[in-house]
Structure 1
Amino acid sequence: MDSRHARVIHEFARWEERGDHPSAGSEDAALLLDLLHRHFGHTDPAELRPGDLAEVLLEVFPQDLRAVLIDDSATVVPTVRALLAFLAETGRLSDEQAAGFTREVDEIESEFLDTMRATADWPPVRVMVDRMIADGVDLADPDGVQEWLDARGGADDRGPLERLPPVRLPDTANLAAAARGSELLAAARELGLWVGERRPVTESDELTAEDAAEAGRLTGATGSDLALLWVVAEAAEFIDFDDYDATARTGSLAADWPPGDDAAALRQWQRGLAQLLADPLGLGSAEDLPFAFTTTGMTAMVALLSGRSDGIPRSLLAQLLAAEELGEHPTRQAREDWAAWTAAHGDPAAVTLDRLARHGAVELVGDHARLTPLGTWAMREELRHEGIDIPLLPPVEQMSAHELVDAAESLTDDELTAERVAWLACRDAGAAAADLLQVAAEGTAAQRVFAVSVVNEVDAEAHWRQVAETLSLRPYAKAALGEDPDDFDAAWLVTDQLAASWSPVDPTPVVDCFNDVVPADLQLSLLNELWRLPHPELIQALEAIGTAHPVKEVAKAARKAAFKAANSARS
């Protein structure tokens, strides 16, 4: 920080102590002055100009990694007001200037809080910042932050799709039956049949205004819906064009849809999906668009594939697609343009999901969306062409214990129940228990929790005694054999549960699990000791609690424990 700003902050802190000035403290004021200096070059509060505070608070402050550490963003604007009062009282600003700047922050307070909450709603940011701090990174040093990010990126350059667990898909006949049920293809075929032998089109192979109105009455689709049907009909060969006289005619495959051949049905369905992903909003050749929307469809499908059988919240997908178009540091104008676009044309995520659902690629369940088996098959085929293979689960009688445990990550509860019942039914109980316990001993917490739950369905006392001294299985063995766990065992069981709940996207499940298994009056004392546990997944569980626990004292204790555990691991 500039030395003159440091002097101001020192005096401000003493001024706060002497009076009743509600604020978040001098740390937030120091961050504000530092950002004003970095963004505008201001070294003296007298250099402030109208609009400076609003620009920094709305466009710079929320993007600074140090802002992520603020426990309560609602105290930031009161800090600014107090700082302005201090600057006026000490003669660094006139009363008139201070009053004007105060009105400025009053006007943007609500928008600032919304922006900060949106940042806080993306939990991995907080987890990343906590890890930076644990590694000794100066968050105010852009070069140091970038070096840290580059180092972590270089450690494993594989995308998340390359590490997806295996899936079980219906057979080809069932997939083809689902493809034949596409509402989008049915409507596109109806449009193709309506075109007939010869219908004039524009130079860009689009319907004339008069024919578009008639087609809309036929299909019930207008605007971008009709535009999408038109290009899907072309992709599925329900429409052909004659480039010599600018006419369209019913395509060669329209009469035969749906075909009896399964492979043919799937090919046509894939053509429709490819067109849908290329232009899910039906924008066609529209020009002067405020946003590109070139990756909207594929971004949605990749996100849904990552969500697997549980899917993802529709609201989260809306955030992802907005971030794709707005970039990492959107300006106020960009945010206003996005709001205007969505108000006029609908939220791109909602429109995309609705059309994918009509094609049979996506299923909408409450406030979540997930891929159908047909959609999963299509994405697997697409990724195979990109050199990324998502394994298929083998027949249950050929499935190993490891493959069964891996399947737990990708199947719904009902599917997994059916899988484990069938798996146990076709093998010796003792052999099954031995294989599962080996996976549990070597696997992650999530794998261990699931494997143990399956072992507990069979008589495995002899096998539990054999693993009673294995560190990761000892607590489970004691429970299975009716023995009382000691403090270490209890801590390990809790940590396994927390780690099994962990997600790189959302820390809430870990917090919920922590609150469920640890009484509120014991949480602080447990966190004060838990960092000593030699559990390989402890740190990420503690970071999740430190990021999202609603009780500040507990969150702070978790962050402190994560820091101590990281230091202990390095030493």
Structure 2
Amino acid sequence: MSADSHPTLPPVRLRSDAELARDALGAPLFARAVRLARWAGPGTRVGVGGELATDQLPDAAAVLGLDVADEDSAGYASQAWRVAVDTGLVDVTEPEDDNGEGDEERFGTAAPGEDLALVTSGAPGDVLDLWLAALDTVLADAAVPDLDDLVDALDAGGEIDFDRLDWNPGREADFLDGVLANLYLLTVTEGGAADGPVPLPVLAASMIVPDGMGEPTDAVLEQVSDAMMRLDDQFRQLEPIGLVEFRPVDEELMAEADGPLEPETAGAADDEDVSRYGMVRLTPLGLYGIRARMLEAGVDAPAVGELAEKGADALLDAVSLYSENAAQAEIEQWLAGREQPAAAAELLAAARGDDEGGPLRRLRCQQALAPAGPEAEPAVRSVLDDPELGGLARVWLAERGVGDVPAPDPEMVFWLTVDTIAAQLAADGETEELPLLMETLTAHHTGFFEQVWRVEHPATAYVLEAMGRLHPDKKAAKEARKAAFKARSRRPA
């Protein structure tokens, strides 16, 4: 899975390993592989590649409870056997080479593998490792063209003409990895798919339509249509392993279409019409599986709760990159089980710093301290005289109606204003709410811009430039721009 497209992703909420392991054991294809592994024995015969002998496929299908008369049952049994072999649930001994002597077909043997015991006696993590190995097999199969395409690509000698097939194994695997990465991103991003399904045209377009393209050309739309049909086949294969929930493209829609499907019409259609083009979503087990593959590829794919045992410095640095809701979820898990006084002191110490990330760390620290009770008050009071934390401490105490809190001096007020706006800019950028915050913070200070440019804060000029663009009062915005120039001029190059 490519590590380049999404170097850092939003944190994902995962179920417990025990819950995920139960989901894995309940995935139809994995459950079939386990049943065949238990069935394997002295009478089981396998070919050179470890595949089950053709005449044993009906027996294997019967073991799986499949209708032997169904022409697809042998294919299902063969796929489950391949998963069992690839995951180590079955050990195979391939037939010995007869050096071309004799016409009799030789067979190897198979027996339950050592890893089969992990299904019932292993830890949840052991089961998940087996399931991930099964997922690798299914993904590799899904990247292979369907049988009809392979037959069409046979040359006169019965060999596959790969040029005619236009199939590149690496390219196909990368395409499917990219699709799954995009589906993962849509699922974990706030405002994205969340728990809802993603229309297949949206997913296909995310891989085909270039960024910044307005109205897609007919050629691009045809590529999107081709990708949709390829994904329709691939997601049908991925659903039995428990990776996705999938609603295929409506076959009637394909029959009605004169030529390629026109997925662009789905954007203007109602929900029922969109669903006819196919809908897919990652299951909780699928989220786990795609994240595991991303981590293996070097992608930073955090999960909520993985910072619970780390220090406050690691926590604040990490959640500074998260959305507010994701940060809150991570903070809550970090606070659980910690004594409030010690946790508050550790958070405040980690919030210090005049580096670029300091303002946002302090904002997240303030967020982390918001639910703290009276037990945290001594730690908060201890930083009242700290030039970086004193303003934060006063806000926290004032919100709880605590008396005898010394009023901040003007320098601290200006510093806190700059720090607050810098944090908001770092967290959310230039939002619609930011101008109102700027107006609120500056309205009660006469001559604010005449003094603020002198504030010894590394973000002073940056904040003033933003205020010059965003402040809703034109006069104040002009004053902010003048103050920004002065702040730039007094700082060393």
Give the match for residue 276 of structure 1.
138
1:424 alignment partner in structure 2: 339
- For 1:515 and 1:228, the matched residues in 2 are separated by 60
Q: Does 1:236 align with 2:87?
A: yes
Superposed counterparts of 1:33-182, under 5 Å: 176-182=21-27
Amino acid at match of 2:334: E
2:166 corresponds to 1:288: yes
1:511 aligns with 2:426: no
Structure 1 SS opposite 2:121: coil
**Cα 1:167–1:198 shift into 2, 3 Å:** same
Shift in CA distance, 394/337, structure 1 to aligned 2, threshold 3 Å: closer
TM-score (norm 2): 0.50
Q: Map 1:177-216 to 2 at 5 A.
A: 177-189=22-34, 197=44
Q: 1:540 to 1:436 in 2, by over 3 A?
A: same
CA distance in 2, matches of 1:236, 1:297: 21
**Equivalent position amino acid for 2:420 in 1:** L
More helix by share: 1
Structure 2 distance, partners of 1:566, 1:232, is 66
**3-state SS of 2:173 partner:** coil
- The corresponding residue for 1:495 is 422
> What TM-score results when the alignment is normalised by the length of structure 1?
0.45
Q: Which moved more, 1:491-500 or 1:172-181?
A: 172-181
Instruction: State the 1:359 CA deviation.
Output: 3.9
| 1:338 maps to 2:217 | no
Q: Which residue of 2 aligns with 1:434?
A: 345
| Cα 1:435–1:535 shift into 2, 3 Å | same
Q: Which runs of 5+ in 1 are unaligned?
A: 1-157, 503-509, 524-528
Is contact 1:464–1:477 with CA below 8 Å preserved after alignment?
A: yes
CA distance in 2, matches of 1:446, 1:216: 58
Whether the 8 Å contact between 1:539 and 1:565 is mirrored in structure 2 is no
Q: Hey, what's the Cα distance between the residues in 1 that align with 2:19 and 2:435?
A: 43
Cα contact 2:46–2:108 (8 A) shared by 1: yes
Q: Kindly tell me: are residues 476 and 392 of structure 1, through their superposed partners in 2, closer, same or farther at Cα, counting changes over 3 Å?
A: closer
1:476 to 392, 396, 414: 392
Identify which of 257, 261, 269 aligns with 2:122: 261
Deviations 1:353-395 (A, max 9, x none): x87676456799xx99678478548855874686989899789
Aligned-residue offset at 1:437: 1.0
Summarize deviations over 1:79-125 as a string: whole Å, max 9, x none. Answer: xxxxxxxxxxxxxxxxxxxxxxxxxxxxxxxxxxxxxxxxxxxxxxx
Alignment coverage as a number of residue pairs: 379
> 1:313–1:369: 8 Å Cα contact kept in structure 2?
no
Correspondence for 1:67: none
Q: Which of 398, 402, 409 pairs up with 2:313?
A: 402
Q: How far, CA to CA, are the matches of 1:188 and 1:370 in structure 2? A: 22
Deviation at 1:185, TM superposition (A): 1.1
SS at match of 1:313: coil
SS at match of 1:436: helix
**Could you tell me whether the CA contact under 8 Å between 1:497 and 1:513 is conserved in 2?**
no
Question: Whole-Å Cα distance in 2 between the matches of residues 228 and 436 of structure 1?
Answer: 53
TM-aligned CA deviation for residue 180 of structure 1: 2.6
Determine helix, strand or coil for the equivalent of 2:365. Answer: helix
Offset at residue 471 of structure 1 (A): 5.2
Which structure is richer in relative contact order (CA contacts within 8 A, separation 6 or more)? 2
Instruction: Tell me the amino acid that sits aligned with residue 362 of structure 2.
Output: R
Q: 1:186 to 1:513 in 2, by over 3 A?
A: farther
Rate the CA distance shift 1:406–1:488 in 2: closer, same or farther, 3 A.
closer
Aligned to 2:178: 299
Q: Give the Cα–Cα distance (whole angstroms) in 2 for the partners of residues 515 and 206 of structure 1.
A: 72
Pair 1:494–1:388, CA change in 2 (3 A): closer
Please list the CA deviations of residues 280-301 of structure 1 after superposition, one character each: whole Å capped at 9, or x if unmatched.
4564685335994321443356
Question: Which residue in 2 is equivalent to 1:452?
Answer: 366
Contact 2:38 2:112 in 1 (8 A): no
Is the contact between residue 360 and residue 375 of structure 1 (CA under 8 Å) also seen in structure 2? no
* 1:491-570 matched pairs, under 5 angstroms: 491-501=418-428, 511=431, 514=434, 517=437, 534=457, 536=459
- Judging changes above 3 Å, is the alpha-carbon distance between structure 1 residues 490 and 279 closer, same or farther for their aligned structure 2 residues? farther
Tell me by how many angstroms 1:489 deviates.
3.2
Kindly provide the CA deviation profile for residues 138-183 of structure 1, in whole angstroms up to 9, marking residues without a partner as x.
xxxxxxxxxxxxxxxxxxxx96988789999888766644543334
**How many angstroms apart in 2 are the aligned matches of 1:317 and 1:537?**
47
Unaligned 5+ residue runs, structure 2? Answer: 98-104, 151-164, 247-278, 399-406, 444-448
Shift of 1:455: 3.0
Structure 2 counterpart SS, 1:448: helix
SS of the counterpart of 1:422?
Answer: coil
The AA in structure 2 aligned to 1:236 is T
Amino acid at match of 2:132: Q
Change (3 A) 1:177 1:323: closer
How far off is 1:436 after superposition?
1.0
Query: How many Å separate the matches in 2 of 1:269 and 1:419?
Result: 30
Q: In the aligned structure 1, how far is the partner of 2:366 from the partner of 2:423?
A: 12
Question: Structure 2 vs 1, CA of residues 463 and 413 (structure 1 numbering), >3 Å: closer, same or farther?
Answer: closer
Q: Is the 8 A contact 2:201 2:224 kept in 1?
A: no
